Structure formats: C-alpha cells, structure tokens
Amino acid sequence: MIGRLNHVAIAVPDLGAAAALYRQTLGADVGPAQDLAEHGVTVVFVTLPNTKVELLAPLGAASPIQGFLDKNPSGGIHHMCFEVPDIHAARDRLVAEGARTLGQIKIGAHGKPVLFLHPKDFTGTLIELEQS
C-alpha cells in the first residue's frame, strides 16, 4: 500500500540554524521558511535527489511539536511520510487492520491530503501518509 518515502521530518529548536546546517555544512538544496498556521509549525524543505527532509519549528503557543522539543531539546526525527495513492482507501484499510489514526484526514504542507498514524501502533514512529 505505501509507496515512496516523501519526507523525513526533523523537529528543531532553531530553524535558521538548522537550515544553515543543511545548506552550508551538508551542501543541500534548502528552500524558504513557510509558516503553516493551521498546523502550528514553520517548515523548511530540504530537497534531495530521492526524497525530502522537512525541518519543523514550533509556530504559536499550541504547536503540536512543542512537547516533542521539550523532551528532545536539541531536536530529533519527528515523523516519516509515505505516499499512498488513495488516502481514504488507506485509512479504511488501516482502521480495518486495527491501527489508530491521530485525528482526521486534512490538507498537509504540500496542499495534499495527509493522515497521521499513532506511533504506538507503528514501532514507536509517528507516520504521516500523504496522497500522491
């Protein structure tokens, strides 16, 4: 069911420093910062030949990544995103398999429908599905 790895997301305490690290130290193609108010994050995408890295920093007081950064003050891998061809079919299959979703399908950072899956059902890893 799952297809390509769309991105690996890394929560960071300092987005400017993280973007500079990827641009200058690692020599990657780093995009501009984008505020996603409805998701409570500011994102920078790092485009690699085969996938992307999504650098995430909290935006606003109720950011969903603040708790993660409180536990991991220097940052860390927050989630992985896999592409699926049909997000509603994917959700129905996962629910039938007994997996728990976090919230409902909504529009993600790339303007496409996304759904998050409970890390406790997926070996401790938060998984995002994005319709390709």
Binding site for Co ion (CB under 5 A): 9, 81, 128
Q: How far is the CA of 28 from the CAs of 16, 19, 45, 48, 52, in angstroms?
A: 14, 9, 10, 7, 10
No. of helices (H) and no. of strands (E), the chain = 3, 9
CA 21 to chain centre: 19
Which residue, 69 or 81, is less far from Co ion as judged by CB?
81
Least separation in angstroms between residue 79's CB and Co ion is 6
> CA torsion sign, 118 to 119 to 121 to 127?
positive
Which residue, 28 or 77, is less far from Co ion as judged by CB?
77
Which residue, 55 or 94, is less far from Co ion as judged by CB?
55
The single residue of 54, 83, 128, 130 carrying the catalytic annotation is: 128
Least separation in angstroms between residue 69's CB and Co ion is 16
128 catalytic? Reply is: yes
Which residue, 65 or 94, is less far from Co ion as judged by CB?
65
Least separation in angstroms between residue 113's CB and Co ion is 13
Least separation in angstroms between residue 108's CB and Co ion is 6
Six token digits for residue 63: 């950011």
Determine the Cα–Cα distance for residues 66 and 131; give it in Å rounded to an integer: 26
Question: Would you please indicate which residues are annotated as catalytic (active-site) residues?
Answer: 128
